[in-house]
A and B are shown apart, each in its own frame.
Chain A
Amino acid sequence: MSLLSAHAVCRAYRRFSLVGAGKSTPVLHEVSFAIEAGETVALLGRSGCGKSTLARLLTGLEAPNAGEIRFKDRSLQGFDTDTWHDFRRTVQMVFQDPQSAVNPRLTIGEIIQEPLRHLTTLTPTERDAEVARLLSSVGLVASDAHKYPHQVSGGQLQRVCIARALAPRPALIVLDEAVSNLDLHLQRQTLALFKTLKREFGVAFLFITHDLRLVSQFCTRVLVMDAGRLVEDRAVTQPLTLHSAAGKALTQAVLPALPSRPKRPSERFSTEGVFE
């Protein structure tokens, strides 16, 4: 039984204006795949290929136009209050833009407590202790709980969002470009934290990105999307080799590890900047 699966899901968006509904633009075409418990799956693709839309369908934030999303073999469409509750606790998501993913009027402590209040039975004192523990696990300090989102940097706020996702101890975390705006050091630290969670608690991850360098670090399986379709689904090998056209294009665009510029004339610096 898969933890979460998509069965031929389609999604189209339609623009509405004063003169009526526009033509609907298909974003996803019959996408099917499954995530098993404890698996780390990468979802690769260029901007606008439908990765984030798929993530929104998988987390139940939007419903597909056709096809269905199943959680532990039950369709999301048929959920009642209790199953939604269980689903929300089990599947968490971290968004790309942390500023727009938090309520600016709440303190960081309140932001992280929100899922604890709604999805767990902890007492207020236990919740405070849990917030302190979560903050330290993402490399922040307990006193940060009293700050407001605008008082911390973007990278710190993204870690707050990660702590919030970890709070209800989910079995699957969907990361929508969640580490791309962190610097290299924080990226490594965050991925190390995810690896620990995976090892100790068997947490599964859906890692949405366009940066191939992170995929082979962290994931065991890779999905490639192109123009709303799933074009490749394979195990991560070392080195990672992709066979679809979209996958190859992404591979070729990976930045070089080392500088390889042609030797420039050596007189350029000896002439004290006098050059054209």
Chain B
Amino acid sequence: MNAHRTLALSHLKVDSTLSEARTRLVDDVSLTLYRSEVVALVGASGSGKSMTCAAALDTLPPGVQKVGGDVRLDDTLATPAKLRGHAVASIMQNPRSAFNPVRSLNDHASESFRALGVPKRLWRERILEAMTSAGLEQPQTLLKRYPFELSGGMLQRMMIALALASGAPFLFADEPTTDLDVIVQRDILDLLERLKTSHGLGILLVTHDMGVVARLADRVLVMAQGRVIEEGEVETIFHRPQQAITRDLVAAHLSLYAHKEAL
């Protein structure tokens, strides 16, 4: 297991270069992620949440460019190639489209290990252990299966297992439960919380659902128009939001629970 303690994104700037007039999508975003904590990045669609993660790992889509900022691991400058998979693992929103349909789960695991340069003799033990930690039963049998044979919830667990197997101390989770039903969502959030403690994972959680934030986050960063407009402990964000946008976000969220006891 990697011994890094902090991951710091500083002054990230991202521009869209598609139209002649450059538009800034991420404007001077800095954040520090510690081990064993969950930082939630929230905001409306298009506020730059996912772009911030993509900029840190240099996985920006075509037509979008990082124009400033850097990423540090424990105060040492880190290149995106050194981060991806080694220090930061990622899980995506739609597990169905994140897997190659013609490859078995075992192939997916081998591919990751090969990319990370893990000695082959360690592969089997590491993936089986990771799958057990991710709550997948009978991992030996499951490894032979193909993505279409598994439910969305199981695939999301497999994606988490692959992230764990990489041994990366940090995890970027972009809308990890948005496409799952509420019961599977609860189980996956429970799992992420357990892993935060057991594996000391530092999780950067991108979501638009303040319910997920309330359930899992320790700290919250609110983004709007590419900037971080408010940052605080989760209780502060919910109970004493400072900015109008944050107040709207929390109010809109609480209105979903309006029928429940007075909050």
Contacts and interface: CB of A to CB of B under 8 A. Distances in A.
B260 A257 contact: yes
Interface in B214-263: 214-215, 217-218, 234-235, 238-239, 248-249, 252-260, 263
B35 to A, nearest CB: 8
B211 to A, nearest CB: 3
B135 to A, nearest CB: 16
B257 A273 contact: no
A201 B260 CA distance: 30
B211 A257 contact: yes
B140 interface: no
A184 B253 contact: yes
B191 interface: no
> Dominant SS at the A interface?
loop
B185 interface: yes
Nearest to A250: B182
B11 interface: no
A19 B17 CA distance: 52
B44 A48 contact: no
Given A217-B256, A257-B214, A261-B234, A249 B200 contact: no
Contact of A257 (B34, B151, B235, B254): B254
B195 interface: no
B152 interface: yes
Given A47-B152, A48-B151, A184-B208, A264 B218 contact: yes
A37 interface: no
A185 B47 CA distance: 13
A258 B183 contact: no
Contacts of B252: 184-185, 188
A105 to B, nearest CB: 20
Contacts of A239: 259-260
A254 interface: yes
Nearest to B256: A213
A176 B209 CA distance: 19
B46 A185 contact: no
Interface residues of B, number: 49
A210 B184 CA distance: 11
Of B32, B182, B185, B218, chain A has the most CB atoms within 10 Å of the CB of B182
Contact of A258 (B45, B214, B255): B214
A157 to B, nearest CB: 11
A18 interface: no
A250 B213 CA distance: 19
Interface string B30-57: 0010111000000011100000000000
A153 B255 contact: no
B78 to A, nearest CB: 16
B166 to A, nearest CB: 21
Of B181, B209, B234, B263, chain A has the most CB atoms within 10 Å of the CB of B181
Interface string B171-213: 0000000111111111001000000000010000000111111
Given A48-B151, A257-B254, A258-B238, A212 B182 contact: yes
Interface in A238-276: 238-240, 249-250, 253-261, 264, 273-276
B217 to A, nearest CB: 7
A273 B182 contact: no
B151 A259 contact: no
B6 interface: yes
A212 B152 CA distance: 20
A184 B98 CA distance: 25
The 3 closest A-B pairs by CB, nearest first: A255-B211, A183-B208, A213-B256
7 contacts: A46-B183, A249-B183, A253-B183, A253-B185, A254-B211, A256-B211, A256-B214
Given A255-B211, A257-B257, 8 more contacts: A154-B45, A155-B45, A180-B178, A185-B252, A253-B183, A257-B254, A258-B238, A264-B218
